[in-house]
């Protein structure tokens, strides 16, 4: 495995073959972009993964990493438990760099983990994608996109199509729409979620793989919009 990360458990060669057969235009993109090289992130519990997601939301990566490091240092260099988050004094948590809204979101995440809304790692592996989305989006500050990234990059689910993702919408437009050749790409050219869902029906059960190639389409066009890290 590259850089120590895990590879998806599904057959990626079969996925690319079936996608190319179902959608020849996508097949041309797959041929140009080359092998599917997605690597999964470490398997934190849903609580730990969402804790990091909340901290990183709407922040520059370095700033968010610094806040996370201070938080882990406060809790002794390990991921805090839900009980730790709920018991920690507000001023100490804010002192780590958390905004009031992020602190409220973390405490809601902790409470919903303890009441069972947020499943354990063992439980989430057995749940269907939509149930995971339905349950995790009950947490303050967690929307469908955040959960879809968790499904693709941590759980390795093969059939996820994040139609709200900017890079995927742009890659779809670059691949399937007739765009003005000399006009710079702008938001008006982005694919609409409805048209993505319609075409995406032919990509089942490999929509995560197709999504990855939409990100690659942006790279190939010289307008990088890489998969989230």
Q: What is the pLDDT of residues 41-79, one digit of tens each?
A: 887 899 999 999 999 998 889 999 999 999 999 998 678
pLDDT at 3: 44
Residues 197 and 137 in one domain: no
Determine which one of 23, 108, 159, 165 is catalytic. 165
Residues 56 and 144 in one domain: yes
Task: Read off the CATH number of the domain in which 90 is found.
Answer: 1.10.340.30
Percent of the chain with pLDDT over 90: 83
| Residue 165 counted as domain residue | yes
pLDDT at 2: 37
Q: Single out the residue in 153, 171, 190 at which a domain terminates.
A: 153
pLDDT at 181: 72
Tally of domains within the chain: 2
pLDDT category at 160 given cuts 50, 70, 90 is very high
Residues 148 and 186 in one domain: no
pLDDT at 1: 31
Residue 180 has pLDDT above 70, yes or no: yes
For residues 146 and 134, what is the distance between their CA atoms, to the nearest angstrom?
A: 12
Arithmetic mean of pLDDT over the chain: 92
Percent of the chain with pLDDT over 70: 94
Which one, of 162, 126, 164, 149, lies nearest residue 50 by Cα? 149
Residues 88 and 183 in one domain: no
Task: Read off the CATH number of the domain in which 16 is found.
Answer: 1.10.1670.40
pLDDT category at 228 given cuts 50, 70, 90 is low
Query: In the chain, what are the helix, strand and coil shares in percent, each to the nearest 5?
Result: 60, 0, 40
134 is catalytic: no
Integer angstrom CA distances of residue 168 from 92, 122, 154, 159, 227? 39, 30, 18, 14, 9
Contact 54, 102 (CB under 8 A): yes
Contact 171, 215 (CB under 8 A): yes
For residues 182 and 185, what is the distance between their CA atoms, to the nearest angstrom?
A: 9
pLDDT at 194: 98
Residues 63 and 140 in one domain: yes
Structure tokens at 200: 């995406």
Residues 203 and 142 in one domain: no
Domain hosting residue 20, numbered range: 9-40+160-220
For residues 25 and 108, what is the distance between their CA atoms, to the nearest angstrom?
A: 44
Question: Is the model's pTM score more than 0.95?
Answer: no
């Amino acid at each position: 495995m590259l850089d120590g990360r895990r590879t998806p458990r599904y057959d990626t060669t079969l996925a690319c073959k079936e996608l190319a057969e179902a959608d020849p235009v996508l097949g041309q993109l797959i041929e140009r972009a080359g092998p599917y090289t997605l690597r999964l992130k470490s398997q934190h519990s849903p609580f730990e993964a969402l804790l990091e997601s909340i901290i990183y939301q709407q922040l520059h990566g370095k700033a968010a990493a610094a806040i996370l490091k201070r938080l882990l240092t406060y809790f002794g260099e390990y991921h805090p438990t839900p009980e730790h988050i709920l018991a920690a004094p507000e001023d100490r948590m804010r002192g780590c760099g958390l905004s009031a809204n992020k602190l409220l979101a973390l405490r809601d995440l902790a409470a919903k983990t303890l009441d069972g809304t947020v499943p354990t790692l063992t439980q989430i592996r057995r749940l269907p994608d939509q149930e995971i989305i339905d349950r995790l989006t009950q947490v303050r500050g967690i929307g469908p996109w955040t959960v879809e990234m968790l499904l693709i990059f941590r759980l390795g689910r093969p059939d996820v199509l994040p139609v709200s993702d900017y890079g995927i919408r742009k890659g779809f437009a670059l691949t399937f729409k007739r765009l003005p050749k000399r006009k710079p790409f702008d938001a008006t050219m982005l694919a609409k979620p409805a048209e993505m869902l319609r075409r995406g029906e032919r990509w089942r059960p490999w929509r995560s793989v197709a999504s990855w190639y939409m990100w690659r389409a942006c790279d190939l066009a010289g307008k990088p919009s890489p998969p989230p890290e």
